Amino acid sequence: MKKVMKGISNAITFLLFALLLVMVFLVISSKASGGEPQVFGYQMKNVLSGSMEPTFKTGSIIAVKPVEDPASIKEKDVITFIVEDGSMVTHRVMEVMQNGEHTMFKTKGDNNEDMDTQPVLAQNVQAVYTGFTIPYLGYFIDFAKSSKGTAMLLIIPGLLLLGYSALSIYQAIREIDKRNTPQDNEKPA
């Protein structure tokens, strides 16, 4: 029974420590990249609208790969691009157009009835969707980017780890005291 309890204790300690490390990584990565965390060269983007449903839902996180060669983008690819107001949009390429030396893309959200009004210039394309989506994690990342979220995501796992460590130390001290205290049926010498 003691081996099982020790195994469970070690697993809990490992999970709390891993949680702390993941939270630290997400918070630092979000702050360093100016918003979206990056993992192994992929950017994690929050889905802020339902224009691409059912491909990905509002509040999801999608992984996109930065575009090195816009000429490699083809019809049906899902791209992330900058629009006139400076915001980012992720829509599907419906048509690739050549205008002299310039490449442009007609795009449309999967859930939109009409195509986007302005074609996207190749130099405005930032990334291509990789097919990796985590539903609802975007809400969590938005919270993590806030000052309260950053503080909570760094402090709470640390406090849980410290509290669990204190409990483990207390239990170890009680176990040592049990071994050193004479039992009732033992007679002192």
User: What is the residue-averaged pLDDT of the chain?
Assistant: 82
Q: What is the pLDDT of residue 137?
A: 77
The confidence band for 40, taking pLDDT boundaries of 50, 70 and 90, is confident
With a cut of 70, say whether residue 158 has pLDDT above it.
yes
Higher pLDDT, 141 or 163: 163
The confidence band for 184, taking pLDDT boundaries of 50, 70 and 90, is low
Residue 167 forms part of a structural domain: no
The confidence band for 27, taking pLDDT boundaries of 50, 70 and 90, is low
The confidence band for 132, taking pLDDT boundaries of 50, 70 and 90, is confident
| Neighbour-count burial of 144, counting CB atoms closer than 10 A to its CB (0-12 exposed, 13-18 middle, 19+ buried) | buried
Higher pLDDT, 156 or 107: 107
Note the pLDDT tens digit of each residue in 56-106.
Answer: 888 888 989 988 888 889 999 999 999 988 888 999 999 999 888 888 999
From CA 147, how far away is CA 154, in angstroms rounded? 11
| CB of 60 closer than 8 Å to CB of 47 | yes
Q: Catalytic amino acids?
A: 49
How, if at all, do strands 125-134 and 78-82 pair? Answer: antiparallel
Nearest to 16 by CA among 8, 26, 27: 8
Whether the full predicted model's pTM is greater than 0.85, yes or no, is no
Q: What is the pLDDT of residue 79?
A: 94
Angle at 83 between CA 47 and CA 127, to 5 degrees: 55
From CA 125, how far away is CA 34, in angstroms rounded? 18
The secondary structure of residue 30, as a DSSP letter, is H
Residue 79 forms part of a structural domain: yes
Domain of 17, CATH number, reads 2.10.109.10
**And the tokens for 19?**
């949680």
**What count of Cα atoms within 13 Å lies in the side-chain half-sphere of residue 150?**
10
Domain count, the chain: 1
Residue 172 forms part of a structural domain: no
Residue 114: give the domain boundaries: 2-161
Residue 183 forms part of a structural domain: no
The confidence band for 144, taking pLDDT boundaries of 50, 70 and 90, is confident
From CA 141, how far away is CA 149, in angstroms rounded? 9
**And the tokens for 150?**
């950053």
Residue 189 forms part of a structural domain: no
Residue 181 forms part of a structural domain: no
Q: What is the pLDDT of residue 139?
A: 81
